[in-house]
Amino acid sequence: MLDVGIVGCGAIGTILARFITEDASGLRLVSISDRHIEKSERLASTLTPQPLIESVSQMAEHTDVIVESASVSAVPEVARTALSHGSQVMIMSVGALADPELRSELVELAKKNNTKIHVPSGAIIGIDGIKAAKIIGMKRVVLKTRKHPESLKDAPYIKEKRINLDSLTEETLIFTGTAREATTAFPTNINVAATLSLSGIGPEKTSVEIYADPHLTRNVHEIEVEGSFGRFTTRVENVPSSENPRTSYLAALSAIATLKKMTEPLQIGT
Ligand SMILES: NC(=O)c1ccc[n+]([C@@H]2O[C@H](COP(=O)([O-])OP(=O)(O)OC[C@H]3O[C@@H](n4cnc5c(N)ncnc54)[C@H](O)[C@@H]3O)[C@@H](O)[C@H]2O)c1
């Protein structure tokens, strides 16, 4: 039985908590936390059995894995606390790991305490192929993201370049650059770009194209990969989660799959 704690009781935290308490064998939700106590209380009141509501350091005393489903700024404290107590940590706000100093500090802490950091594939598909292809190297990894103009409006790049998204009537390419550039230009794309870069050829060599399309109702991510292994393309059309339209339902499901994988004796997939 794997005892799980969740930090962040929003869209992902809620879906995970419900799954663990209702369906999962091998997983037990023992503790939850949110910076807004009323959110953890509200979630706890809907769950049977009810988890404890605790601080991250209290949680780390008695959990096997802590799931961070809060925010990029929550990652340093949650991950440091979990790892230094020998607990595993699963990071959803993976954009935090784009900081190389924090990443290597956490990896060293995990090694020292003989534990692990898990990063689910989240809202993209194809990480399995990239991990395999990476063994012999890849020469090209491109992420093509398509979103409704409304979801791109607040991006710093749109404001800085004074792009008028309201005037678009068809799909339009609005950004090309590296994954490193994309994370500052479009911070809401940070998790997808960071997961792809970290699993593959890094943020400087991963290319990103962002398209605005007024006809879209789902966020679409395509990944194109080329190397000596051959070539592949993946495409996912993501349904938004009901609690947070900015978060794809698939991201929460991939967190559940990662937790389940930790408990299963038969491991399928790269
Ligand atoms: N890896 C991926 O592909 C992927 C996909 C979607 C979302 N995400 C990320 O996962 C995280 C959670 O997403 P969500 O949709 O559930 O967000 P959400 O906004 O619905 O919920 C986040 C919750 O965390 C709480 N929180 C924020 N900062 C906190 C802190 N420092 N300490 C404790 N609680 C804190 C908030 O009060 C809120 O209840 C976000 O950072 C989001 O960007 C990752």
Kindly tell me if the per-residue pLDDT of 207 is higher than 80.
yes
* CATH topology for the 2-122+250-263 domain: Rossmann fold (3.40.50)
Could you confirm whether 62 is annotated as catalytic? no
5 lines ligand 1 (CB under 6 A): no
Q: Rounded CA gap, 152 and 156, in Å?
A: 9
Mean pLDDT of 244-251: 92
Ligand 1 pocket mutation, candidates 14, 42, 55, 69, criterion most atoms within 8 A of CB: 69
Give the Å distance between the CA of 95 and the centre of ligand 1. Answer: 11
| CA-closest candidate to residue 175, choices 193, 161, 188 | 161
Residue 24 predicted with pLDDT over 80: no
CATH number for the region 127-239 comes to: 3.30.360.10
pTM of the model: 0.96
pLDDT class of 245 with cuts at 50, 70, 90: confident
Supply the pLDDT for residue 46. 97
- With a cut of 80, say whether residue 108 has pLDDT above it: yes
Domain ranges of the chain: 2-122+250-263, 127-239
Q: Give me the pLDDT at residue 189, please.
A: 78
- Which residue's CA is minimally distant from atom 41 of ligand 1? 71
Q: Which residue has its alpha carbon closest to ligand 1 atom 43? A: 93
